[in-house]
Amino acid sequence: MKKYDVAIVGASGMVGRELLDLIKIRRFPVNKIYFFNSGKNKISFIEFKNKKYECFSPQLNLLEKAKIVFFVSTEEISRKYAPILASKKIWCIDDSSEFRLDPSVPLIIPEINSELIKKSYLIAGPNCTLTPLAVSCFNIHKKFQIEEIRVATYQAVSGAGRKAIESLFEELEYYLKNKKMKSKNKFLPNPIAFNIFPQVGSFDKNGISSEEKKVELELKKIWNSPDIKISVTAVRVPTIRVHCLSAWIKTKKDWELKDIEKTFINSKGVKYLKNPKYATPLNSAKTFEVFVSRLRKTPIKNEFQVWLSGDNLYKGAALNSIQIAEKIIEENYG
Ligand SMILES: NC(=O)c1ccc[n+]([C@@H]2O[C@H](COP(=O)([O-])OP(=O)(O)OC[C@H]3O[C@@H](n4cnc5c(N)ncnc54)[C@H](OP(=O)(O)O)[C@@H]3O)[C@@H](O)[C@H]2O)c1
């Protein structure tokens, strides 16, 4: 089997580490592997398959050695290097938000629109919060034409990166030692231990958070459906990984609840749990599917409600990127 030279930019971060695990778990055919991070902190070596690799700060001449580059660091780094590498026919799979809404860059979830991969060497992966919704309800949309979505999210702390997770653990330790809460968190807008808050990202002049805007605009792009009405409340909760969503979905076409259930059961990448079973962050962590549970009708015509969940570090980021890379090599693109 052909093997590929691969680079991971952001290898020491939350998503970077998951990428490494998934490369092993899914036996992605790696020849040489190169690791990059900020070069600013103490993690300067990465262990992979019992070997220690030095981690470099990004440099074009080193990045150019790879055939596939996973960008899992910052928007700035993606902006600086991905377009140059892509112009040299190096596949760049970017998990940052830098190019997601750029009309020339495909925004890919392989279960939905893998046919767009061949259009560009630079490919964006979506925001981790919309992934469970996008994957699970795509076939519902195709069959019954979704016209309106209202959703409240319950987002794990790892969605905000390694430093945010470390800060959750510090807060918990501080509480256990001092029997009082810390008053501030350096990486999140509020303390997060024993807390929840309806702010993920910053607010615009209309009071909408950047995360809420991403869910709306990226979902419209991925489904190629600019007219769907989407309203979101994004909430941070003190879980470690897996984002959950409570969603109200209204369609144009009529259906029986069993048709909706059947569509979920037959959708790729979806695990449907029949009542009274449901997904939680603990029972859906590190799984490759997104989960749909608590399906029920609402009093509004053509509207149902579901509880969705998906691992933000897997399908919301690293797994989706690996699946894109797998598609590239499977189809022998470029
Ligand atoms: N976390 C999620 O659930 C999730 C989901 C979807 C998409 N994403 C996106 O994926 C990316 C990574 O997120 P994360 O949660 O893994 O963040 P993270 O835990 O904070 O890790 C960031 C990584 O980027 C590296 N980095 C920072 N500045 C850099 C620079 N100037 N040059 C090279 N590397 C640099 C860090 O290196 P050091 O170790 O040296 O600091 C670290 O390896 C972000 O763009 C994020 O928006 C994250």
Cα–Cα distance, 283 to 242 (Å, whole number): 10
Query: Which sign does the torsion angle of CA 285, 289, 293, 296 carry?
Result: positive
Regarding the beta carbon of 210 and ligand 1, being less than 6 Å apart is answered no
Q: Which of 55, 92, 141, 243 is catalytic?
A: 243
Atom number, ligand 1, closest to the C-alpha of residue 127? 6
Regarding the beta carbon of 36 and ligand 1, being less than 6 Å apart is answered yes
Which ranges of the chain have pLDDT less than 50?
Answer: none
pLDDT at 157 (0 to 100): 98
Q: Are strands 243-251 and 229-233 parallel, antiparallel or unpaired?
A: unpaired
Nearest CA to ligand 1 atom 3: 159
SS3 164: helix
Decide if 99 contacts 127 (C-beta within 8 A).
no
pLDDT at 102 (0 to 100): 98
pLDDT at 215 (0 to 100): 98
243 is catalytic: yes
Q: Which of 55, 128, 137, 244 is catalytic?
A: 128
| Site to substitute for ligand 1 among 74, 109, 129, most atoms within 8 A of C-beta | 74
| Site to substitute for ligand 1 among 9, 38, 320, most atoms within 8 A of C-beta | 38
How does pLDDT run across 236-276, given as a tens digit for each residue?
A: 999 999 999 999 999 999 999 999 999 999 999 999 999 99
Regarding the beta carbon of 44 and ligand 1, being less than 6 Å apart is answered no
> Cα of 318 to ligand 1 centre, how many Å?
12
pLDDT at 334 (0 to 100): 66
> Cα of 161 to ligand 1 centre, how many Å?
7
Nearest CA to ligand 1 atom 28: 38
Distances (CA, A) of 152 to 21, 76, 249, 269, 306: 30, 29, 12, 22, 11
CB atoms within 10 A of CB 299: 5
> Cα of 55 to ligand 1 centre, how many Å?
14
Cα–Cα distance, 284 to 246 (Å, whole number): 15
> Cα of 316 to ligand 1 centre, how many Å?
14
Burial of 24 (0-12, 13-18, 19+ CB in 10 A): exposed
Decide if 307 contacts 241 (C-beta within 8 A).
no
> Cα of 213 to ligand 1 centre, how many Å?
21
How does pLDDT run across 61-84, given as a tens digit for each residue?
A: 999 999 999 999 999 999 999 999
Decide if 107 contacts 218 (C-beta within 8 A).
yes
Regarding the beta carbon of 317 and ligand 1, being less than 6 Å apart is answered yes
Regarding the beta carbon of 157 and ligand 1, being less than 6 Å apart is answered no
Q: Is 205 left (phi over 0), alpha (psi -120 to 50) or beta?
A: alpha
92 is catalytic: no
pLDDT at 39 (0 to 100): 87
Quick one: what percent of the chain has pLDDT higher than 70?
Answer: 99
Atom number, ligand 1, closest to the C-alpha of residue 158? 1
Cα–Cα distance, 78 to 271 (Å, whole number): 33
